[in-house]
């Protein structure tokens, strides 16, 4: 695949690289260093142990990496890091990116084809970056009759609401953006925004197919929200708390709730598929019926934002499934106690947290794969069958397990000082 220009000389190539390095060094020492000092002079730096962090001390970190440990430790416990990096937006967005790539390859293997193959040489792993660049460079077409402020605001609201849902999920002990006592109610309150956004956007597009799609989204999400909440309610009954961290801890104290509440887990899984508008419940975006449903009029980065929001939502729901039914981060500690034997300085390495993150990531990814699976094997279902399933079958099913949960509590098997509580 690679092609070389005919006049290529290896010596010239090395020479030009050395020339480049020389100029980079010159420019860095003459311009970069003074600029760095000016910036460091004005930016307030965190205290480093006893002494305040000075620009000079900061520079010594380049030669002695162990000196960076306190500042890294300081940084990863700031709120900014939690919101922006881990377990906040970057972690969730990374999950979304990996999910999109894995979905495409996984579906391709199922359908006897290759999937992305060329971008990035190895199995097309940079395809998503290429798609993102394409979406950014595209023109955003807003229909002339559209309600412009809502049309622009809805995609952004969609992503922010999805990110807000992801922010409530505890990833490891103490690692959660917002640890609130009514965590599970807050999650459902946030998920209640999605049909509203879909309807607002479809109304703002001022077009027929988006309008039908928006109404379908509203019908579908409301029909599935009730079994969704009731199936989570049985988990709350068993755990005795609404706090998501508390739910995980009560599972660590006994066993994973999926063993006690398999029907609830199934109902929750089906309802999350409907919430996500994934096949077989992708009626709001049914291509052959209503073009692209409520996102028909999207283009360029507006479409990109809605896709990002959808995959963030997928991560949030899979993570919620893990937290409610699969014991969150519980699992054996698989990382060694120390990496460098005999090191006594300050440490940021914590095997417990790392194992927790590892187990949580593995479980969430497994659930995501389970949510991707129906796309390969199932056709789309019709709206009347969907509503019938939601209102009649799933609600009844989720009630069954609520009574099972109550029996487990009053029978003294789970709950405070139950038989199975370790």
Partner 1 sequence: MATLEEKIEETRRLGLQVVKETEEDRLMTLSIGPQHPGSGHFRFTVKVDGDYIVYCDPDPGYVHRGEEKMCEYRNVIQNIPHLERPVIHDSTNVTYSYSLAVEDLMGIQVPRRGQFIRAIASEMNRQVYTLYWLAIYGIFLGHSTMFMWPAGDRELFIDLLERLTGARVTHAYNIPGGVRNDMPEGFKQRCLDHINYFEKRLKEYEDIFYNMPLFRQRTEGVAVLSKEDAVKLGVTGSVLRASGVPYDIRKVEPYDVYNEIDFKVQYMKTGDSFARSYVPFLDMKESCHIMRQLLDKMPQSGEVRTKLQPNPKGPAGEAYRRVESGRGALGYHIVSDGTPKPYRVKISVGSFRNMLALPFLLVGNKLADMPAVYWSLNYWPVEADR
List of residues contacting partner 1 (CB under 8 A): 107, 110-113, 208-209, 212, 279-280, 282-283, 286-291, 375-385
Residue with tokens 């009630």: 399
Q: How many CB atoms lie within 10 A of CB 256?
A: 18
Tokens representing 353? 């947290």
Distance between CA atoms of residues 317 and 272, nearest Å? 7
Q: Which residues have a Cβ under 8 Å from the Cβ of 159 and sit 6 or more positions away? A: 305, 306, 308, 309, 312
- Which CB atom, from 147 or from 289, has the smaller least distance to partner 1? 289
- Which CB atom, from 85 or from 291, has the smaller least distance to partner 1? 291
Task: Report the nearest approach of partner 1 to the CB of residue 113 (Å).
Answer: 6
Task: Report the nearest approach of partner 1 to the CB of residue 144 (Å).
Answer: 18
- Which CB atom, from 276 or from 279, has the smaller least distance to partner 1? 279
**Which residue, among 256, 259, 191, 199, has the nearest Cα to 229 in the 3D structure?**
191
- Which CB atom, from 96 or from 286, has the smaller least distance to partner 1? 286
For the chain, the residue count is 422
Residue with tokens 């959808």: 310
Task: Report the nearest approach of partner 1 to the CB of residue 128 (Å).
Answer: 19
Task: Report the nearest approach of partner 1 to the CB of residue 187 (Å).
Answer: 29
Task: Report the nearest approach of partner 1 to the CB of residue 380 (Å).
Answer: 3
Q: At what angle do helices 127-137 and 300-325 cross, to 10 degrees?
A: 140
Task: Report the nearest approach of partner 1 to the CB of residue 307 (Å).
Answer: 17
Residue with tokens 């995959």: 311
- Which CB atom, from 220 or from 364, has the smaller least distance to partner 1? 220
| 106: helix, strand or coil | helix
Distance between CA atoms of residues 344 and 387, nearest Å? 62
Considering only the C-alpha atoms of the chain, give the largest distance between any 2 of them, rounded to a whole number of Å. 84
Task: Report the nearest approach of partner 1 to the CB of residue 132 (Å).
Answer: 23
Tokens representing 37? 């000092």
Spell out a b/e string for 106-125, using b for 16 or more CB atoms within 10 Å of the CB, else e: bebeeeeeebbeeeeeeebe
- Which CB atom, from 166 or from 372, has the smaller least distance to partner 1? 372
- Which CB atom, from 141 or from 334, has the smaller least distance to partner 1? 141
């Amino acid at each position: 695949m690679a092609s070389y220009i005919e006049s290529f000389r290896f010596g010239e190539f090395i020479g030009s690289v050395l020339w480049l390095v020389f100029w980079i060094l010159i420019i860095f020492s003459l311009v970069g260093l003074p600029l760095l000092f000016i910036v460091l002079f004005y930016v307030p730096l965190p205290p480093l142990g006893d002494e305040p962090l000075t620009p000079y001390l900061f520079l010594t970190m380049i030669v002695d990496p162990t000196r960076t440990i306190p500042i890294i430790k300081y940084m990863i416990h700031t709120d900014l890091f939690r919101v922006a990096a881990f377990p906040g937006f970057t972690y969730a967005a990374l999950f979304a990116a990996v999910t999109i790539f894995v979905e495409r390859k996984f579906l391709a293997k199922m359908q006897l084809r290759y999937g992305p193959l060329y971008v990035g040489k190895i199995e097309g792993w940079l395809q998503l970056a290429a798609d993102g660049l394409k979406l950014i460079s595209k023109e955003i077409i807003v229909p002339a009759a559209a309600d412009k402020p809502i049309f622009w605001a809805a995609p952004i609201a969609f992503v922010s609401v999805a990110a807000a849902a992801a922010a409530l999920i505890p990833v490891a002990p103490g690692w959660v953006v917002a640890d609130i006592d009514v965590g599970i109610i807050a999650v459902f309150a946030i998920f209640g925004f999605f049909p509203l956004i879909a309807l607002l956007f479809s109304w703002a597009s001022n077009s027929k197919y988006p309008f039908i799609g928006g109404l379908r989204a509203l019908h579908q999400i409301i029909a599935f929200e009730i079994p969704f909440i009731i199936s989570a309610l049985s988990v709350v009954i068993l755990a005795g708390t609404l706090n998501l961290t508390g739910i995980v801890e009560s599972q660590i104290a006994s066993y994973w709730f999926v063993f006690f509440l398999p029907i609830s887990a199934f109902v929750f899984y089906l309802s999350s598929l409907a919430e996500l508008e994934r096949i077989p419940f992708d009626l709001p975006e049914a291509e052959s019926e209503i073009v692209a449903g409520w996102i028909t009029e999207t283009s360029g980065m507006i479409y990109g934002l809605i896709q990002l929001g959808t995959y963030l939502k997928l991560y949030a729901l899979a993570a919620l499934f893990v937290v409610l039914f699969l014991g969150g981060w519980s699992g054996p500690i698989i990382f060694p106690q120390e990496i460098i034997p005999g090191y006594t300085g300050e440490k940021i390495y914590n095997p417990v947290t790392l194992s927790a993150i590892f187990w949580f990531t593995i479980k969430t990814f497994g659930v995501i794969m389970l949510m991707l699976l129906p796309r390969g094997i199932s056709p789309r279902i019709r709206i009347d069958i969907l509503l019938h399933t939601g209102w009649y079958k799933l609600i009844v099913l989720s009630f069954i397990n609520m009574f099972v949960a109550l029996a487990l509590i009053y029978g003294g098997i789970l709950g405070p000082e139950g038989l199975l509580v370790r």
